[in-house]
Amino acid sequence: MAIIRQVLPIRNVSRWALLLFISTHCDSWLHEAGAQTVPKARYLQDIAVGDINGDRTLDLVTTDFFAKQVIPWLGNGSGSFVQGEQISVAGNPAAVVLGDLDGDGVLDVAVGVLSTNGALTGSVSVYRGTGTGSFYVQTAIQATEPSSLAVADLDHDGVLDLVVVDHAESTVSVLFGDGSLAFTSPNQIDAGPNPYSVVVVDVNKDRRPDLVVSNYVVGASAVSVALGRGGRAFSQAVSYPTTAAAAAIVVADVNQDGNFDVVAATTTDGGISVLFGDGKGGLIPGATGPSGGLGAFSLVALDYDGDRVIDIALANAGSGTVTLVRGKLVSAKGSRTTTFSFDVPKVLLEMQGVWRMAVADVNSDKRKDLVVINQGRNDAISVVLGPPPPRK
């Protein structure tokens, strides 16, 4: 597959912006990508997407690990962003998540912060949104090594709660919000060794949020599920092995049987592993396949090519690529049963330092785009625009 590149300036954005076109001779579903470099960035670590200034256009919030900053990026609706007012933090910001934590209709931001001196004395800092794209500090919550954050109304009281993955303590902490950006003491859940990321989803269809956690352990990696029991209680987590060490996970109904499945990026062997959900909270080993790269610490599920089947995009840090693995559903003749499998991976973007990724319609064309942060020498925000809809 031949790839052609051109680098051109984006007009009316800034001298830091570049537009990188990627095209192929044979894959019309690949589309153009833009890379907007980040001035003075030192190590972009995480990304969150949401409308933080109320203009009905999606914006970004990134964390710069070594610069000790949280950076808002205001979208203009055409796929480019303008840097907003930075937030300086006391430590190294790792994880970030957006949510209306105080119920005022404006997105707030929670940031997982690691210690600067190597001691395991991190925190989660919560900042109140102003509605104009800026934030100001409200509260800080102690956490040893917060590697992943999530927000959801776990106890059905109409107020968003906070879920913190504490990598060093091998726990997931649930903190229930009171609507004023104050939270209860952490309710710690044993989520297996080395938890890395968390997804909140109702996997057993009882209308109670459950926690799905990746356990990043070389040689003994797994996905753990803690079921919500109602109120503020969770079951003890049950672990389900993956084929190799899995850091990043995503939850989606990939085989269209009405049950949520878990897709894991098996970081150490460059693969993808699917655990099919049984609808009761259990997971069953399913399809596997190559990711097309190495060292994926971020993946997303989306119907990228518009064929109504879930595809998986991965940011492969080890190989400096963003790849797309298209999903395939095959129905056996004379049977209602469908089998899910993966197609051959395709490269969407080549750039050293790719790290985290999110899905967003950044140019308002009602197509799902990929927003990728790069770290190191190539600190940048790259956008892979979604392809045109398939011809009917």
Q: Identify whether the C-beta of residue 341 lies closer than 8 Å to the C-beta of residue 331.
A: no
Q: Could you tell me the CA-to-CA distances from 202 to 180, 254, 364 in Å, in that order?
A: 26, 15, 30
Q: Identify whether the C-beta of residue 341 lies closer than 8 Å to the C-beta of residue 289.
A: yes
Dihedral sign of CA atoms 25, 27, 32, 38 in order: negative
The H or E element containing residue 73 is: strand 69-75
DSSP state string for 286-340:
EEEEE-SSS-EEEEEEE-TTSSSS-EEEEEETTTTEEEEE-EEEEEPTT-S-EEE
Does residue 241 carry a pLDDT above 70?
yes
7 forms beta bridges with 20
**Token code pair at residue 206:** 């009882």
Q: State residue 333's pLDDT score.
A: 65
Rounded Cα distance, 100 and 140, in Å: 17
> What value does the mean pLDDT take over residues 290-300?
94
Chain centroid to Cα 139, Å, comes to 24
| Buried residues in 198-224 as b, exposed as e (16+ CB within 10 A) | bbbbebbeeebbbbbbbbbbeeebbbb
Residue for token digits 């797309």?
324
**Token code pair at residue 310:** 């879930």
Q: Identify whether the C-beta of residue 187 lies closer than 8 Å to the C-beta of residue 222.
A: no
pLDDT band at 14 (very low <50, low <70, confident <90, very high): very low
Q: State residue 117's pLDDT score.
A: 61
> What value does the mean pLDDT take over residues 72-86?
92
Residue for token digits 């057993």?
204
Q: State residue 223's pLDDT score.
A: 95
Among 92, 149, 96, 156, residue whose Cα is nearest residue 120: 92
**Token code pair at residue 33:** 């990508």
Chain centroid to Cα 337, Å, comes to 31
Q: State residue 332's pLDDT score.
A: 66
Among 243, 248, 266, 257, residue whose Cα is nearest residue 329: 257
Does residue 28 carry a pLDDT above 60?
no
Among 246, 174, 242, 248, residue whose Cα is nearest residue 211: 174
Q: Identify whether the C-beta of residue 297 lies closer than 8 Å to the C-beta of residue 353.
A: no
| Buried residues in 82-99 as b, exposed as e (16+ CB within 10 A) | ebbeebebebbbbbbbbb
Q: State residue 261's pLDDT score.
A: 97
Q: Identify whether the C-beta of residue 177 lies closer than 8 Å to the C-beta of residue 124.
A: no
Q: State residue 120's pLDDT score.
A: 59
94-134 pLDDT tens trace: 999 999 999 999 999 999 998 766 555 788 999 999 999 99
Contacts of 207 by beta carbon, 8 Å cutoff, 6+ apart: none
306-356 pLDDT tens trace: 899 999 999 999 999 999 999 999 876 666 667 889 999 999 998 888 999
pTM of the predicted model over 0.85: yes
Choice between 191 and 54, residue whose per-residue pLDDT is larger: 54
Q: What angle do CA 387, 48, 116 make, to 5 degrees?
A: 135
In this structure, the number of other CB atoms found within 10 A of the CB of residue 377 comes to 8
Q: What is the mean pLDDT of the chain?
A: 85
Q: State residue 41's pLDDT score.
A: 66
Q: State residue 370's pLDDT score.
A: 94
Helices and strands, counts by H and E, the chain: 0, 35
Does residue 4 carry a pLDDT above 50?
no
Q: State residue 171's pLDDT score.
A: 86
> What value does the mean pLDDT take over residues 197-209?
96
Q: Between β-strands 246-252 and 271-277, what pairing exists: parallel, antiparallel or unpaired?
A: unpaired
39-73 pLDDT tens trace: 666 789 999 999 999 999 999 999 999 899 999 99
369 forms beta bridges with 360
Among 46, 57, 73, residue whose Cα is nearest residue 133: 73
> What value does the mean pLDDT take over residues 266-286?
94
